[in-house]
A and B are shown apart, each in its own frame.
Chain A
């Protein structure tokens, strides 16, 4: 009687609550559907890609007839002969810089040298994202003559106001000059000489011939650092006097001393890095490869890529490539998926002609290879070239690598190549020069599936959102499930006890039970932070090999973990239920992934692919369930595989094995890899240690959970 009244008076919960309860009760089905849908959409991405288009009307690429003529190509050839001669009697590449400077000066442009030291990167956990700090001022040893010289030429736009500048970069190695580097220098010079006579410039032109003996990126970033964050207290003076090599350049010529002063143009509007790669003998057309990924998955504005692509393909007849995973191109399973999507697409097309999902098999495979490389390069968070240095200063930049198909001896073919390359660069400069505002119209968040196809943020977010969607539901279901189970258990234990005492029990151990799980989570997070900071101290050890370092790292991590357990008690001793533990873990990774997707989406996407199944599958190995042997075995096996794959060193090993085919275990490799990540201050490092590693450890905890005492008690009862 009483209960019936209660039921009657119980107000109907609101729709959203009911929906939540419904989803939670079917959480397994829901998560299976969402995850598989997420993976399917991810695979569908290549067919969802759209063609690129120019958003900014001011760019009008290719509307002007290129002025770069055969005379400029001859000029380039002349320059090449000159610099070859200069290189012949060079001492450490200084004569080359001198020759370039002299040539620039003859054009009537301003010129200056920029000297820099190799930049040794250290792990500074506190300055992780702000590595543009002024740690350039490494005290050079008195005998250190090993420094690079960038030669910078600046054209002041005849009628411009000098507020903005366009930067052209040609890297070359002053120590060992290849003929293709000379070719790229010659190309750069001939374009620069053309621009020095151009009356239409409205932005200044800066030509940086970057001395890449310490790497292209180092040279460009050193110059950019000096451009944006110069250090005044005595830096340049000491620098000059201490470096002995400085005397070579000037031979006491006082007039040239003005080359010393660092010269600047205005705010940079865009930068174009171009170099000539190895010449090929085969292939029908000269090709250009575009590299755009900067640090932490930042991309330049899509319009810049569009301009380059449009001019290269439709005006100069280059073939434009982007980086691709070539191993995927020949993989059979990808072809099967492509066939499947193709047939599916044709069927859908018949239903509704507006659904254009039927992508040709070849296109799909190509698109996937490009997309995979695009996602991978963004996820690693390391720039793919010196354009990354520009992006650190919010300058849109793209690297072009020309791959000409001619014999170096063939002068005619070389001139033709120079002509087309020069026209391409001139056209891009012209377009950027037309801009009134900085690049802002087009996309900044996109993946490329082909040079002229892209997937914008609105589309590529869908698979990630689908993968992430079940997490809160599952967490809620687990938390709820553990509570109801406990209630049942309590009821069965204390049937005779009064109502009041059960209430008391519940308030004590029941609704606050999750705090125990949260404590475990916090301890593990703390451990992860400490582990991520350890390399800072390990790098201080002099002369440590990577293997030693990584062993020390692993040992210290384990010691810290044990110490933390000793201090705060073992996770199992407090009697934490595995369901609650799993629920907290899932909550924490959904927060972690959500945050990471803002910092670097690609990392979060790849991480979600590994971690979300790992978390959802995880259950104690000892846990009993009413399942048959086969499903249980499958569950166990998948649990163990996912746990192995989820461990970062193991994942690295598998990746290496898959890509190179060598399965040798090298412990030092992991250290080298991590070093690589923090040297480039990639957020992927933080992700690995602050989100991925604690989650993996929690998974292991869940797997090894000795199962709840309550359950045992229930059994005993």
Chain B
């Protein structure tokens, strides 16, 4: 009941709904009564018996109804063909909305009950246990017409009520940011935001917002969630480590998932497990491996400060491919059929050097749900002659355009999107060079020229004086099928620049060899960024958070933490401000290390080492490819004093670009994934092992028993007594043997 009141649109609707339900139930029960009576009369039962027969049945029916109204999660289980029906539903939505007017009124497809059911069941996921709408409750055989009429009435009323109540509307925006990178590559960052106002104003029905997500949020009481699929590594040295783009979109290889729940602490672990299964079904990935308590952890402050309601898990080995992209695209109202997402031509984007697709959810009572879907790719643009640059060609940047990058042109926006824009960002390095050369920072300057004149030029300022980068904005809504949009950059002069690095280059590596023990080392190499930003005070210090999860079979000795700064060993208390360790428990818990370090500004390099022992696994705990080794997920290093924020002085509220406004993050970087070779049994030789072991055991026990039990003296005495008997016995035995031989041959 509690959930229903939360999710139901308004008191009025609620009342109406209850009234209708009660009516409907009576109708249903009435129908059943008729049926029972008919059957009973066929069998020749008396009226009393008939009544008795109807009684319990009715009660059961009522109970079922109740359960249905309480939005049972179990209902979702039945829909294994959910993907199909959801696709249909999605298509339906898309069509409905492309036809819809700008006021975005709701048009309900009320032609047939089948259609209605697809409309109401855009639900999917293999074992996704999602709340079913209350109205679907009675799985009764057809008293159809009356029920259907009621439903139609209800829908119309509800829609009217919703429309009258809703001031905020669901919104969808799509954006694309392109950026040339110093190492002759290009970065493309797709950003889609769908948002829905708080549930109370709109009910359970969505025009643009993916229903699967809203159901997920409601069922698991998620207040924040981020899921990323990444292939390849972000090159922090070449592609930047300080700007908002790299700090928020560089993700560790594989899958990373974290979620903050709005639930009592005791329920969170169970909810997390369900959530992983749901997401696993939604995104066709083995996220459900994060279900086991050995693979996720609950960081307190090292990752993101929270009250213990955050869970974090990573699967470094998860392979990412189109099967993960397709469900992700299905969450968009136009999928990849129109708008910016239509640029996502699979062969081009998967050919790149880095691919990261991310889904970020924020939900609260006041905000509603905001779903940010981003996709970041780093591509190697084809040059004009179609050949990749050879080393002898020098450092000339390749000129490229969107068509070069994606093999696609952009033919207009997704019609339901509120705004649809493409940005081209030019790095600080280039801007500085242009400013130094004294020329104007227009789209056609002495270093490069853009193929189209931008609609607007946005300047990003640091300290209100220094410009950091400039962004050229294009509005896609001005283009159409006949006049497709294609923007590119052509270089006039060879240009070498570098991106702003993060304060420290962080790398992590394994030390030692062999299957017994080793060490994890984290090395920090200063890039002297703080001098550029804060000037050069020498007595300052830089804070750094380290968050690291280690699987249980890598048994880290946390006391063995050693810190070397510029080659000198430091005591731990000198450098570590705060430390929180959750030691690992065999087969139960991974080890978690959260640390707040304080480095002196003058430091050039620092190294942290931690020793570990390699554990042994049971034979059935090894994965199928055990000889590959085992992964230690990436560590996260964040620098809380460095915020990569963008300041746009001329920002007007009309700008309203989620892609640009969102950039207010702490600088952080992920380290490499490590591969630890563990002792692996030879799985192909169980037979040998069994025979050897059995032989040795037999020999050992035989001789041990002989030594313990045998008494020669007694045996002799016994022998004296039993010589005769033995003779008889041996005779018997020989007869038996002979018989046996006879039977054999």
Interface, chain A (partner B; CB < 8 A): 8-9, 11, 75, 78, 103, 106-108, 132, 156, 158-164, 193, 197, 199, 228-230, 232-238, 261, 264, 266-267, 392-394, 436-438, 440
Q: Do A267 and B392 touch (CB < 8 A)?
A: no
Known: A9-B720, A162-B233. A233 touches B629 (CB 8 A): no
Q: Do B353 and A9 touch (CB < 8 A)?
A: no
The answer to the question of B680 belonging to the interface, with a C-beta cut-off of 8 Å to chain A, is yes
Known: A159-B355, A193-B391. A237 touches B672 (CB 8 A): no
Chain B residue nearest to A435 in the complex (CB): B628
Query: Which segment, of B11-19, B32-40, B300-308, B563-571, faces chain A?
Result: B563-571
CA distance A160 to B230 in the complex (A): 11
CA distance A261 to B355 in the complex (A): 28
Q: How large is the interface on B (under 10, 10 to 19, 20 to 34, 35 or more residues)?
A: 35 or more
Chain B residue nearest to A159 in the complex (CB): B232
Minimum CB–CB distance from A541 to chain B (whole Å) comes to 35
Q: Can you show 19 pairs from A to B with CB atoms below 8 A apart?
A: A9-B723, A108-B184, A156-B233, A160-B232, A161-B672, A163-B672, A163-B675, A228-B512, A233-B564, A264-B509, A266-B672, A267-B674, A392-B513, A394-B514, A436-B625, A437-B628, A438-B627, A438-B628, A440-B680
Chain A residue nearest to B604 in the complex (CB): A237
- Chain B residues with CB below 8 A from A237, complex form: 566-567
* Binary contact track B492-525/A, C-beta < 8 Å → 1, others 0: 0000000000000001011111100000010001
CA distance A271 to B2 in the complex (A): 64
Q: Do B514 and A161 touch (CB < 8 A)?
A: no
The answer to the question of B316 belonging to the interface, with a C-beta cut-off of 8 Å to chain A, is yes
Q: Do B511 and A228 touch (CB < 8 A)?
A: yes
Q: Of the candidates A75, A159, A238, A440, which one forms a contact with B353 in the assembled complex, judged by CB atoms under 8 Å apart?
A: A159
Given contacts A232-B567, A394-B514, 10 further A-B pairs with CB under 8 A are: A9-B720, A11-B719, A78-B392, A159-B355, A160-B232, A160-B233, A162-B253, A230-B521, A264-B507, A437-B625
- Chain B residues with CB below 8 A from A8, complex form: 723
Q: Do B254 and A161 touch (CB < 8 A)?
A: yes
Known: A161-B253, A261-B525. A437 touches B627 (CB 8 A): yes
Minimum CB–CB distance from A262 to chain B (whole Å) comes to 9
CA distance A132 to B511 in the complex (A): 12
The answer to the question of B621 belonging to the interface, with a C-beta cut-off of 8 Å to chain A, is no
Chain B residue nearest to A8 in the complex (CB): B723
Q: Do A9 and B564 touch (CB < 8 A)?
A: no
Q: Of the candidates B231, B254, B567, B720, which one forms a contact with A233 in the assembled complex, judged by CB atoms under 8 Å apart?
A: B567
Chain B residue nearest to A110 in the complex (CB): B237
The answer to the question of B388 belonging to the interface, with a C-beta cut-off of 8 Å to chain A, is yes
CA distance A341 to B408 in the complex (A): 72
Minimum CB–CB distance from A346 to chain B (whole Å) comes to 35
Chain A residue nearest to B682 in the complex (CB): A440
* Binary contact track B702-745/A, C-beta < 8 Å → 1, others 0: 00000000000001100110010000000000000000000000
Known: A237-B566, A438-B628. A232 touches B513 (CB 8 A): no
- Chain B residues with CB below 8 A from A163, complex form: 629, 631, 672-675
Minimum CB–CB distance from A194 to chain B (whole Å) comes to 11
The 9 tightest CB contacts between A and B, nearest first, are A234-B567, A437-B627, A163-B675, A161-B253, A232-B564, A393-B513, A237-B567, A106-B391, A437-B628
CA distance A132 to B513 in the complex (A): 10
Interface of A is mostly: loop
Minimum CB–CB distance from A236 to chain B (whole Å) comes to 7
Q: Do A107 and B391 touch (CB < 8 A)?
A: yes
Minimum CB–CB distance from B396 to chain A (whole Å) comes to 12
- Chain A residues with CB below 8 A from B677, complex form: 267, 394, 438
- Chain B residues with CB below 8 A from A229, complex form: 511-512
B 628-643 contacts with A by CB, 8 A: 628-629, 631
- Chain A residues with CB below 8 A from B719, complex form: 9, 11
Count, A-B residue pairs, CB within 8 A? 108
The answer to the question of B77 belonging to the interface, with a C-beta cut-off of 8 Å to chain A, is no
Chain A residue nearest to B395 in the complex (CB): A106
Chain B residue nearest to A239 in the complex (CB): B567
The answer to the question of B346 belonging to the interface, with a C-beta cut-off of 8 Å to chain A, is no
CA distance A204 to B715 in the complex (A): 72
Minimum CB–CB distance from A150 to chain B (whole Å) comes to 18
- Chain B residues with CB below 8 A from A164, complex form: 675
The answer to the question of B399 belonging to the interface, with a C-beta cut-off of 8 Å to chain A, is no
- Chain A residues with CB below 8 A from B510, complex form: 267
The answer to the question of B171 belonging to the interface, with a C-beta cut-off of 8 Å to chain A, is no
- Chain B residues with CB below 8 A from A108, complex form: 183-184, 391
* Binary contact track B527-569/A, C-beta < 8 Å → 1, others 0: 0000000000000000000000000000000000010101111
Chain A residue nearest to B519 in the complex (CB): A229
- Chain A residues with CB below 8 A from B626, complex form: 437
Chain B residue nearest to A163 in the complex (CB): B675
Q: Do B680 and A232 touch (CB < 8 A)?
A: no
The answer to the question of B607 belonging to the interface, with a C-beta cut-off of 8 Å to chain A, is yes
Most buried by B among A11, A232, A264: A232
- Chain A residues with CB below 8 A from B231, complex form: 159
Q: Of the candidates A75, A236, A392, A436, which one forms a contact with B567 in the assembled complex, judged by CB atoms under 8 Å apart?
A: A236
Minimum CB–CB distance from B407 to chain A (whole Å) comes to 16
B 14-47 contacts with A by CB, 8 A: none
CA distance A8 to B716 in the complex (A): 11
B 277-324 contacts with A by CB, 8 A: 316
Known: A11-B715, A158-B232, A159-B353. A233 touches B674 (CB 8 A): no
Known: A107-B391, A394-B514. A199 touches B674 (CB 8 A): no
CA distance A582 to B290 in the complex (A): 66
Minimum CB–CB distance from B174 to chain A (whole Å) comes to 26
Known: A233-B568, A438-B628. A161 touches B316 (CB 8 A): yes
Known: A106-B391, A161-B253, A440-B627. A199 touches B351 (CB 8 A): yes
Q: Do A197 and B673 touch (CB < 8 A)?
A: no
Chain A residue nearest to B316 in the complex (CB): A161
The answer to the question of B235 belonging to the interface, with a C-beta cut-off of 8 Å to chain A, is yes
- Chain A residues with CB below 8 A from B253, complex form: 161-162
- Chain B residues with CB below 8 A from A234, complex form: 567-568
- Chain B residues with CB below 8 A from A107, complex form: 391
CA distance A393 to B675 in the complex (A): 15
- Chain B residues with CB below 8 A from A394, complex form: 513-514, 677
Q: Do A233 and B388 touch (CB < 8 A)?
A: no
- Chain B residues with CB below 8 A from A266, complex form: 672, 674-675
B 596-654 contacts with A by CB, 8 A: 605, 607, 609, 625-629, 631
Q: Do A438 and B629 touch (CB < 8 A)?
A: yes
B 672-691 contacts with A by CB, 8 A: 672-675, 677, 680, 682
Chain A residue nearest to B609 in the complex (CB): A232
CA distance A234 to B606 in the complex (A): 11
- Chain B residues with CB below 8 A from A106, complex form: 391, 394
Minimum CB–CB distance from B664 to chain A (whole Å) comes to 29
Minimum CB–CB distance from B156 to chain A (whole Å) comes to 52
CA distance A132 to B394 in the complex (A): 42
CA distance A264 to B506 in the complex (A): 12
Q: Of the candidates B316, B512, B680, B716, which one forms a contact with A11 in the assembled complex, judged by CB atoms under 8 Å apart?
A: B716
Q: Of the candidates A158, A197, A228, A440, which one forms a contact with B513 in the assembled complex, judged by CB atoms under 8 Å apart?
A: A228
Minimum CB–CB distance from A256 to chain B (whole Å) comes to 14
Chain B residue nearest to A132 in the complex (CB): B513
- Chain A residues with CB below 8 A from B562, complex form: 232
Q: Of the candidates B183, B514, B672, which one forms a contact with A162 in the assembled complex, judged by CB atoms under 8 Å apart?
A: B672
- Chain A residues with CB below 8 A from B564, complex form: 232-233
- Chain B residues with CB below 8 A from A236, complex form: 567
Chain B residue nearest to A392 in the complex (CB): B513
Q: Of the candidates A103, A156, A233, A437, which one forms a contact with B235 in the assembled complex, judged by CB atoms under 8 Å apart?
A: A156
- Chain A residues with CB below 8 A from B316, complex form: 161
Minimum CB–CB distance from A156 to chain B (whole Å) comes to 7
* Binary contact track B650-680/A, C-beta < 8 Å → 1, others 0: 0000000000000000000000111101001
CA distance A392 to B682 in the complex (A): 21
CA distance A261 to B504 in the complex (A): 13
Minimum CB–CB distance from A3 to chain B (whole Å) comes to 15
CA distance A161 to B673 in the complex (A): 7
- Chain A residues with CB below 8 A from B628, complex form: 436-438
